[in-house]
Amino acid sequence: MPLRPRKLLCLLPLLLGFCAASTQAVENGETAPAFTLPPLRSDDGNADISLADFRGKVVYVDFWASWCPPCLVSIPLLNELRNRLVEAGEPFEVLAINVDSDPELGIEFLLDEPVQYLALRDPAGTTPALYQVPGMPTSYLVDARGQVRLVHTGFKRSDIDKIELEVTKLLDEIE
Partner 1 sequence: MMKHAARLFGLLFTVLCCANLAACTPVAAWERGNLARPEMAIVSDPLEGALDAHVYFSKEASSGGNSTAGGGCGCN
Write phi, then psi, for 39 (nearest 5 degrees): -65, 150
Instruction: Considering only residues 87 through 106, tell me which ones interact with partner 1, judged by CB under 8 A.
Output: 99-101
Instruction: Considering only residues 27 through 66, tell me which ones interact with partner 1, judged by CB under 8 A.
Output: 63, 65
Size of the site for partner 1 (CB under 8 A): 28
Task: Give the nearest distance from C-beta 12 to partner 1 in angstroms.
Answer: 6
Distance CA 32, CA 30 (A): 6
Which residue number, 40 or 68, has a Cβ lying nearer to partner 1? 68
- Residue 137 interacts with partner 1 (CB under 8 A): yes or no: yes
- Does residue 174 contact residue 157 with C-beta atoms inside 8 Å? no
Task: Give the nearest distance from C-beta 153 to partner 1 in angstroms.
Answer: 9
State the DSSP string of 68-101. -HHHHHHHHHHHHHHHHHHHTT--EEEEEEE--S
- Residue 135 interacts with partner 1 (CB under 8 A): yes or no: yes
Burial of 170 (0-12, 13-18, 19+ CB in 10 A): buried
The one among 48, 134, 162, 173 contacting partner 1 by CB under 8 A: 134
Distance CA 65, CA 122 (A): 10
Which residue number, 45 or 76, has a Cβ lying nearer to partner 1? 76
Instruction: Pick the stretch among 48-56, 82-90, 127-135, 161-169 that binds partner 1 (CB under 8 A).
Output: 127-135
Which residue number, 23 or 46, has a Cβ lying nearer to partner 1? 23
- Residue 67 interacts with partner 1 (CB under 8 A): yes or no: yes
Distance CA 58, CA 144 (A): 5
Among candidates 146, 109, 107, which has minimal Cα distance to 26? 146
Interacting residues with partner 1 (CB under 8 A): 5, 8-9, 12, 15-16, 19, 21, 63, 65, 67-71, 99-101, 125, 128-129, 133-138, 154
